[in-house]
Amino acid sequence: MKEALHVEWTKLRTLAGTAWLLAGVVLLTVALGVTASAACADTGCGDPAKTSLTGIAFGQAVVAVLAVLAVGGEYSTGMIRVTFAAVPRRSTVLAAKAVVVGALVLVAGVAAVLVSVMAGRFVLAGDGAALSLADGPVFRAAVGSVLYLVLVGLLSLGVATVVRDAAAAIGVVLGLLYLFPIVAAVVSDPDWFKRLQRISPMTAGLAVQATTNLDSLPISPWAGLGVLGLWAAGALLVGGLALRLRDA
């Protein structure tokens, strides 16, 4: 496992786009969070913490691209055969990729969330919104947002392992994340609307950001993040099976 981790870390570290994608996660998340906080300061908002973390819903797209390329890029170039020759146990390769991708997204996520919350605290200071990580709900929203990005990365990695084509895998992941809320929005039946929100990886997962009016949520914060965790675990499980049953 140690050798596999070193191999995966070396590949991602030396890939030209990795640093840019990680920077993109931070910059996009912070920029959209600050924009939302500024708009909130002008019009008022009910949940300042969630508003400051609005950028997570868009930064996740960059995370998905990064995770997909960790697998899809190797299949497109044929480099995956070399990887399997060096580390014959394919489950170990997938586990190593998951650890490396998860660690990189974790670092970028922590940076993005910390800056977003601090920026939100500054922007919303005049609005009476005292954002502080010492506040339990705000801390939960911040930690949950970081974990959300990590789980999106693992979900994307699993999907890419199954699909193998980078472009198709990105399309599948973004469809899973963004189409569920769109479909739910056009459903007229309130019961089905809640069901779709509860199983949607994005809607359910982002429930962890809510710090006010928790009773109105379709699913509780940590349970919602658990739904996304199940999606990620399922994708990795299917991806692991696909690696074992199919040729490289």
Instruction: Give residues with Cβ within 8 angstroms of 126, minimum separation 6.
Output: 41
Q: What is the pLDDT of residues 79-123, one digit of tens each?
A: 777 777 676 687 888 888 999 999 999 999 999 999 999 888 887
What is the spatial distance between Cα 188 and Cα 120, in angstroms, rounded to a whole number? 35
Q: What is the pLDDT of residues 16-58, one digit of tens each?
A: 788 899 999 999 999 998 888 887 766 667 788 888 899 999 9
In the chain, the amino acid numbered 123 is: V
What is the reported pLDDT for 67?
A: 92
What is the reported pLDDT for 134?
A: 75
Q: What is the pLDDT of residues 220-234, one digit of tens each?
A: 999 999 999 999 999
Q: Determine contact, residues 50/141, Cβ cutoff 8 Å.
A: yes
Q: Determine contact, residues 142/133, Cβ cutoff 8 Å.
A: yes
> Mean per-residue pLDDT for 60-69?
93
Structural domains of the chain, count: 1
Read off the pLDDT band of 9 (50, 70, 90).
confident
What is the reported pLDDT for 126?
A: 58
Q: Determine contact, residues 51/45, Cβ cutoff 8 Å.
A: yes
23: its two tokens: 């920077």
pLDDT at 125 over 70: no
What is the spatial distance between Cα 131 and Cα 124, in angstroms, rounded to a whole number? 8
Burial (0-12, 13-18, 19+ Cβ within 10 Å), 174: middle
Among 10-14, 134-138, 139-143, 157-161, which stretch is predicted with the lowest mean pLDDT?
A: 10-14
CB atoms within 10 A of CB 232: 24
What is the reported pLDDT for 194?
A: 84
What is the reported pLDDT for 248?
A: 57
pLDDT at 163 over 60: yes
> Mean per-residue pLDDT for 204-218?
87
Query: 130 by DSSP, 3-state: which?
Result: coil
Q: Determine contact, residues 149/56, Cβ cutoff 8 Å.
A: yes
In the chain, the amino acid numbered 243 is: L
Q: Determine the angle formed by the axes of helices 136-163 and 166-186, rounding to 10 degrees.
A: 130
What is the spatial distance between Cα 54 and Cα 31, in angstroms, rounded to a whole number? 10
What is the spatial distance between Cα 99 and Cα 33, in angstroms, rounded to a whole number? 28
CB atoms within 10 A of CB 186: 7
- Mean of the per-residue pLDDT values for the chain? 85
Domain of residue 11: give its range.
2-245
**8-state DSSP, 133:** T
Q: Check residues 196 and 3 and name the one with the higher pLDDT.
A: 196
